Chains A and B, each alone.
Chain A
Amino acid sequence: MLTFIVFFPLVGAAVVALLPREHEREARWVAAATGFAVLVAAAVLFAIFDRDQSGFQFIQRESWVDGELAHLKLQYLLGVDGLSVALVLLTSLLGMVAILISWNIELRPKEYFAWLLVLESSLFGVFTALDLVLFFIFWEIELIPMYFLISIWGTGRKIYSAWKYVFYTFFGSSFMLVGILVTGFAANTFDMRALAGADLHDALLPTGALFFFLIVAFAIKLPVVPFHTWLPDAHTDAPTAVSVMLAGVLLKMGGYGMLRVSFTILPDVARDAGVYLGAFAAVNILYGAMVTLVQTDLKRLIAYSSVSHMGYVLLGISALGTVGLTGAGMQMFTHGVITGLLFVLVGLVYDRTHTRQIRELSGLAHQMPLIAVVMVIAGLASLGLPSLAGFVSEVTVFLGTFGKYGLLTVMGVIGIVLTAGYILWMIQRVFYGERNPRWAELGDANAWWERAALVGMVAVIVVIGIYPAVLADVIEKGVQPIAAGLA
């Protein structure tokens, strides 16, 4: 099952790549079929996931490399717990959305959809791999499609942004590689399940340094201020679908990695580091929100709001308790859907107006009522309106952290106020206000693929907002063992 989810997109990518040039427009159908098959598989996986059982399920295991001299035992080991099954579902959902909103891409569609599917495949791998080295491999593979997707199909300073993205990520992961090697040597295994119980001492490096090596890559990915500067560039210059994947899924690799790798392997150090992480989180939330307020470019605005929102993930993680970690997991999922939706909407607006400058836009609700309504829903969800998804996760985070770091939590709540500010202000300037004759000819989101993407995402936001247990129970089961290790 997991092998199918991880590798089927690769099969789709291969089919897309082999399409004859005359039929390259058909690539989108192949991609959509692949994405849909994987989405169904992921939904089934989520449905049959046993919610009463903690630990990993659907385990698949093969011996992969067995180096006797080097004590190098690598496994092909996939499995999901509550946290990863949620992220697999998120990835498949946004992967489908990304394909749909790229429907009319003109430039080299074959390569585009192939890379998009490769990207999806590597993300599934990251979220399901239970062997540390396998995890790292999928983590690295993700670089290549991103590099191509940004540098070829991007806009603006796309080459610069692609480089920046690659270097930040590669820099972080090179430290992670050192950390993985030292961990593997000290514990004599790369199996994450065994590492959870392993008692690591100052083997080759002090455990504090090891923790640093293991968390840098995730901190860059999340991103934690001051490692965030790649994010606005990459998000802004990437094509819409890639921004959706970036904000929706790739950032979550950071939070997921912290929980799965750094915190699981070195709980003792994590316990001491919690308060510092909390402080970083508060800076993330407030700094991110304040910078967002002054943005003049729609896409950059959403990008910076991600920095702020990922601060909540970090805040929840830093509390080290079940509630906080559940909140962080919830926030990862809901932020993925909400911000994904925001990027989709911005992309739709940009497709029609060919500008993202807020001051040039005005009164668009007259021409695009559907986009405007969905934008309002997504915006309200983003600022945490009760009954929508964002509220649930943010409240859970605050519940988890308040008892531990009261002051930091209060700062986080202030961030919500700022969020309300920039979201509402943006909607008011772009969609309401005076009707601008320049945009009189524009149409709404009428194509079926646009509507399918919008409706699907709004449905998820509303369902989670009204009945959060559908997600929260699963994630809670997933983070319980991690929290138990930290207690």
Chain B
Amino acid sequence: MTGVDRLGPELVLLCFAGIVILTDLFWSRRPLLVGLSLAAIVGSLAWTGSLVARDMQGTAFDGMLVVDDFSLFFAFLFPGVAALVILASVEYAERFSRYQGEYYALILTSTAGMMLMAATTDLIAIFIALELTSISLYILVAFLKTVLSSEAGIKYLLLGALSTAITLYGMAFLFGLSGSTSLSDIADTVAAANDDTRAALIMAVALLTAGLGFKMAVVPFQMWVPDVYEGAPTPITAFLSVGSKAAGFAVMLRIFFVALGDRFISNDWANMFAALAAVSMSVGNVVALSQANIKRMLGYSSIAQAGYFLVGVAAISANGGDLPLGASGVVFFLGAYAFTNLGAFIAIIAISNRTGSDEITSYAGMARRSPLLALGLTLCLISLTGIPPTAGFIAKFYVFDAAVQSDLVWLVIVGVLNSVVSAYYYLRVVLQMYTEEPVSEEQVAAGPALGLALAIAVGGILFVGILPSFLLEASESAAKVFS
């Protein structure tokens, strides 16, 4: 039974997903569905909390599931993200009259998938969790059934299927070399590897990077991002840009740091990730400069942010092979980024619910039409730029600190110069809101659900920015799993 107990947080979400769909059949009442979904998340979080309180770290189902500090961190992060996404969806979901139940249920299943991705050390289980997440998201992206949304859905499905296949191919290499799907067994094989098997390992590294790079949305696997982000329902865009990306990074950290963490191969992939980080940051930021649609802009910005995460992945100490340092930077950044990016999307949803437009020019004079929304969005954008006293600054500082300690000063210089570039397009929106004349005097107000969600996100940004110790300790203990 301890196995089921350890799976509890995910099970709660999946059960409630079923309940939500069934309830929708009989009482299609929107507040009820939202309430049930939120109850699922509260239940899941409570269960996770009790796992922590009861010290239930350990494995279950023959190593298919692990509960350790790393998976527990994400067992808090993903439901938290989902909760904000659900709150952000309440008003937005009025745009599609049918399938309300399915919408919330799919968010729950996909959240469960993300949690499982972080909570397993077996290739088969990783793959299944990946599929659970992805398939739910394919449907959600196309949910608006408009031309743009359907196009986004198809695009995401096709490229997603391709990337899954590539991931599987990479996993097959690892399985072929080691004869096992368990990451720790593979690690033993890698430690004993010689130059004959090196080529196969490099192939596996390249294929896994390509496959998971799609999830993480790093250059050069980012082609789908702008179109899908623009076409998808905005709450789902937020979910993709935070949840799905974080899940990709969680899996990548697991596979690379546990299975491929031996110095025989780790220096190679660290160099590769350093290069990808530099390219991702630069491409994402430069292309974002010219975007006129704020969702596309945030799409490119999320590519650039993924580049900053990769700085942390690449930051394994050159002399000590010290894995946890960079990993804790990535985990911390993921937490800070969740608040920041969700906050930005929530503000955008609230504004576009009233103005009906995602063009940056429609944000003109927003400070007068809605002072609080404008202030909230400004704070999120400042955090994305990495200016204190926000979570974004501490996160960048921490990741760059890890990179300096790993002798990657050049990458840090690339990173900070990219921050300067990014200031232009983030602050341009702020400028629109504060200095331009509003197109109309009509007030823009957020509903209670959106207001609550934005308040949580902004509170998180400031809390982490001013008192980072709490998140820092959590991310450090999560990263110690890899030591």
Contact = CB atoms under 8 A, between A and B. Distances in A.
A181 B388 contact: no
B68 interface: no
A70 B400 contact: no
Contact of A70 (B393, B405, B435): B405
Nearest to A205: B409
A65 interface: yes
Given A148-B434, A159-B431, A178-B409, A137 B423 contact: no
A61 B39 CA distance: 43
A68 interface: yes
Given A69-B479, A152-B435, A140 B388 contact: yes
Interface string B404-429: 11010100110011011001100100
Interface stretch (A164-172, A248-256, A341-349): A164-172
Contacts of B419: 170, 174
B387 A144 contact: yes
A65 B405 CA distance: 18
Contacts of A133: 397
B472 interface: yes
Interface string A129-147: 0000100110011011001
B423 A170 contact: yes
A204 B480 contact: no
Contact of A141 (B389, B413, B420): B389
Could you tell me the dominant secondary structure of chain A's interface residues?
helix
B416 A174 contact: yes
Contacts of A141: 387-389
A224 to B, nearest CB: 19
B153 interface: no
B170 interface: no
A70 B389 contact: no
B409 A167 contact: no
B412 A66 contact: no
A65 B393 contact: no
Contacts of A204: 404, 407, 409
Contacts of A69: 324-325, 328, 476, 479-480
A137 B465 CA distance: 10
A266 B412 CA distance: 21
Nearest to A210: B409
B398 A178 contact: no
A174 B476 contact: no
B328 A70 contact: yes
B469 A151 contact: no
A15 interface: no
Given A137-B389, A175-B416, A152 B401 contact: no
B405 A177 contact: no
Contacts of B405: 70-71, 185
A454 B397 CA distance: 43
Contacts of A182: 404, 409
A137 B392 CA distance: 12
B20 interface: no
B441 to A, nearest CB: 14
Contact of B423 (A68, A167, A175, A185): A167
A298 to B, nearest CB: 25
Contact of A185 (B404, B420, B427): B404
A140 B389 CA distance: 9
B360 to A, nearest CB: 15
Contacts of A163: 424
A136 B427 CA distance: 20
B434 A178 contact: no
A182 B423 CA distance: 23
B427 A147 contact: yes
Nearest to A204: B409
B318 to A, nearest CB: 11
A226 interface: no
Contacts of A64: 469
A151 B435 contact: yes
A69 B328 CA distance: 8
A340 B402 CA distance: 43
A151 B409 CA distance: 35
A469 interface: no
A140 B401 CA distance: 18
- Judged by DSSP, the binding face of B is helix
Contacts of A147: 427
A403 interface: no
A144 B325 CA distance: 31
A147 B393 CA distance: 18
A178 B407 CA distance: 12
Contacts of B407: 204
Contacts of A66: 469
B314 interface: no
A182 B416 CA distance: 13
A92 to B, nearest CB: 22
A70 B404 contact: no
A174 B420 contact: yes
B205 interface: no
Give the residue among A66, A147, A148, A181 with the most B Cβ atoms within 10 A.
A181
Nearest to A71: B405
A184 interface: yes
A65 B431 contact: no
A184 B468 contact: no
B21 interface: no
A19 to B, nearest CB: 12
Contacts of B382: 144
A14 interface: no
Contacts of A71: 405
A159 B435 contact: yes
Contact of B401 (A137, A143, A184): A184
B426 to A, nearest CB: 11
B323 to A, nearest CB: 10
Contacts of A170: 419-420, 423
Contacts of A140: 387-388, 393
B333 to A, nearest CB: 12
Contacts of B343: none
A437 interface: no
B284 interface: no
A159 B430 CA distance: 12
Interface string B1-32: 00000000000000000000000000000000
Contacts of B402: 70
A181 B401 contact: yes
Contact of A67 (B423, B431, B476): B476
Contacts of A159: 431, 435
Contact of B420 (A65, A67, A171, A205): A171
A72 interface: yes
B329 interface: yes
A67 B398 contact: yes
A185 B325 CA distance: 13
Given A69-B328, A178-B412, A185-B401, 8 more contacts: A65-B469, A67-B328, A72-B401, A133-B397, A137-B388, A151-B435, A174-B417, A177-B397
Interface of B: 324-325, 328-329, 382, 387-389, 393, 397-398, 400-402, 404-405, 407, 409, 412-413, 416-417, 419-420, 423-424, 427, 431, 434-435, 468-469, 472, 476, 479-480
User: Lowest 6 A-B CB distances belong to which pairs?
Assistant: A174-B416, A137-B388, A181-B404, A69-B476, A170-B420, A185-B404
6 contacts: A65-B468, A65-B472, A69-B325, A151-B431, A151-B435, A174-B420
Interface of A: 64-72, 133, 136-137, 140-141, 143-144, 147-148, 151-152, 159, 163, 166-167, 170-171, 174-175, 177-178, 181-182, 184-185, 204-205
